[in-house]
Amino acid sequence: MASPSKDKSMEYDRQMYKKPEKPKNHLAGRVNKFQEKVNQTQAPPPPEITSIHHQPDMDYNILNEIKHVHQLIKDNGQQGDYAIQIKFGELIPIYGSAQIDKLTEVLAIARKNGYINYNLNDFLRQDRDEDIYVKLIKTPY
């Protein structure tokens, strides 16, 4: 039989040379928490793809006015440098003398959308110089 001192020494040896415990794996818990957060949050909407050729939608009435002004310039204008053009002063009586503000608004929107062109600095002056040439660039049809 083993002596009591030998049993104590064996017990001491077992504790001394005990295999180290494996560290607890906290990664699985972290992955689960991350997965819960991912499931709770919603994915952002995909970015809107716009083309350089995309033009913003215009109001139907404004587009009709642009078409009307375009047709007036085409019918009453003269062939200029690479484009049909008309003087602003000649366009006023054709469009209607009482609607000058509406005409300037339509011309500004048409210029913004690339249908016509004119020298903006001359056009913005208060006297609205009637010698400004309004040129057609593209057809709004």
The CATH code of the domain that includes 115 is 1.10.10.1540
117 assigned to some structural domain: yes
Look at residue 25 in the predicted model and tell me its pLDDT. Answer: 64
Residue 135 covered by a domain: yes
* Three-state secondary structure call for residue 46: coil
pLDDT of residue 96: 82
For residue 95, being part of any structural domain is answered with yes
Q: Give the pLDDT confidence score for residue 129 in this predicted structure.
A: 58
Provide block-wise average pLDDT over 10 residues at a time, the chain (141 residues). Answer: 62 64 69 81 72 60 87 87 85 84 87 84 59 80 66
Domain assignment of residue 129, yes or no: yes
pLDDT of residue 46: 76
Tokens encoding 37: 């957060």
What is the domain range of residue 95?
82-140
In a domain? residue 64: no
Q: How many domains does the chain contain in total?
A: 1
List of residues 6+ apart from 74 with CB closer than 8 A: 84, 136
